[in-house]
Structure 1
Amino acid sequence: MTELLPLNNSHLPVKLRLEDYLRLDDAGAFEEYRKTELIDGEIFFVNAQHRPHAVIKSRLHVALAAAMDVHGQGWEAIVEGSIAIPPHNSPEPDIAVTSEPEGKGLMPLDSIKLIIEVSDATLAFDTKRKLAMYARNGVPEYWVVDVNARVIHQMWAPEGETYREHRELAFGQAVSAATIISLTIDTAAIG
């Protein structure tokens, strides 16, 4: 006997899975958009980066890479590398610290120690939607560099859709990673 289900009168969104997103990307579906991210099953176009954003990201990467060289624990800072966070996410953060920089495909989530987003026009998205996604998926530490307010929001200890620990540091202050022992970055040169 066939069970009758009630008629659905409302629109139900469908979340795109990571593997489907990658298939579409391989087929060239996003070529006209240049860069996209998959966040919670939705595809987002990534804006062009204007100079304040690009300069701060570049300088922060240089400072972080120099500190990582001194630190010497096998971590590497990657700029704009996509991360696989199944089943519905493939963000492309400004900087990601990973233990697996080499290889094919997306960086695996379990290799990620720190994610940094530089925000000039995307602060609300980075501090709400992306923060919830990163915390929910166990990213150990997350920094949002607020270009306009000239502060770094440093978060760690993910719990649910937030981080239990948080501090705010002004540009020019040293930032010590909470999850990578003895990693400190001087931010005086970032802007």
Structure 2
Amino acid sequence: MSLSLITRKFTVEEYEKMATEGIIKPDEKVELIRGEIIKMSPMGTRYASSVDRLIQLFYQKLGQKIILRVQNPIRLNNNSQPEPDLSLLIPRSDFYVAAHPCPQDIYLIIEVSDSTLDYDRYTKISLYAEANIKEVWIINLKEECLEVYRYPLQSSYQAIQKYYRGEGIFIESFPEIELTLIEILGNIY
């Protein structure tokens, strides 16, 4: 006989109320994925320097064309509010003060992955595809490459491609701006 446990899922509203009421502490690094509160991995130096490099790169290349949201929430639906490493957003004068950005506000999501690579590839990518996020990048620190996911359909992406040093890439929403993989990956050791 197998025992099947029933779990209770949370909505974004309940999750935010837990944070407001102090049930989730301000310094806790968690995100809401499919109704479950998921503890986020600690940040290593390679990971942190990669995020910093990308912040500088996107400000230099795109400036006022985007709002660059760093490790802050985006609301995908009623039960998922992840905190991607970087979100390139459509600019708004209110900087999304009334509500977190939704899928239609997002040009690109970037996840920097080392110890979280499988989770990002299989859980987060399908979540983003289901929400119709048009483009997602995974900075794959293990394989020292960029994984690009485009054209969502249901829970997957129709175009998946890896890029390595020496190659160039553009963001689908900004085809006029080419980025090199050296700029994106830097010197990964």
Query: Same-fold call, TM > 0.5?
Result: yes
Deviation at 1:91?
0.5
Change (3 A) 1:61 1:13: same
Query: Among 140, 149, 155, which residue is 2:143 paired with?
Result: 149
Separation in 2, partners of 1:95, 1:79 = 5
Q: Does 1:81 align with 2:75?
A: no
The secondary structure found in structure 2 opposite 1:153 is strand
Q: Is the 8 A contact 1:81 1:107 kept in 2?
A: no
Separation in 2, partners of 1:23, 1:124 = 30
Q: Is the 8 A contact 2:19 2:26 kept in 1?
A: no
TM-score, normalised via structure 1 length: 0.86
Query: Among 27, 34, 42, which residue is 1:40 paired with?
Result: 34
Change (3 A) 1:100 1:89: farther
Matched residues, number: 180
Report the aligned-residue RMSD. 1.8
Give 1:7-86 correspondences, 5 Å limit.
10-31=4-25, 34-69=28-63, 74-86=65-77
Deviation at 1:12?
2.2
Q: Deviations over 1:2-60 (max 9, x none)?
A: xxxxxxx8432232111111111111112176211001111111122110001111112
Q: Deviations over 1:42-89 (max 9, x none)?
A: 1111122110001111112211221113xx6x3222211210122110
Change (3 A) 1:16 1:172: farther
Aligned residue type for 2:87: A
Unaligned 5+ segments in structure 2 are none
**Alignment partner, residue 84 of structure 2:** 93
Deviation at 1:106?
1.9
Unaligned 5+ segments in structure 1 are 1-8
Separation in 2, partners of 1:108, 1:137 = 9
Q: Is the 8 A contact 2:89 2:105 kept in 1?
A: yes
Q: Is the 8 A contact 2:112 2:141 kept in 1?
A: yes
Separation in 1, partners of 2:166, 2:41 = 27
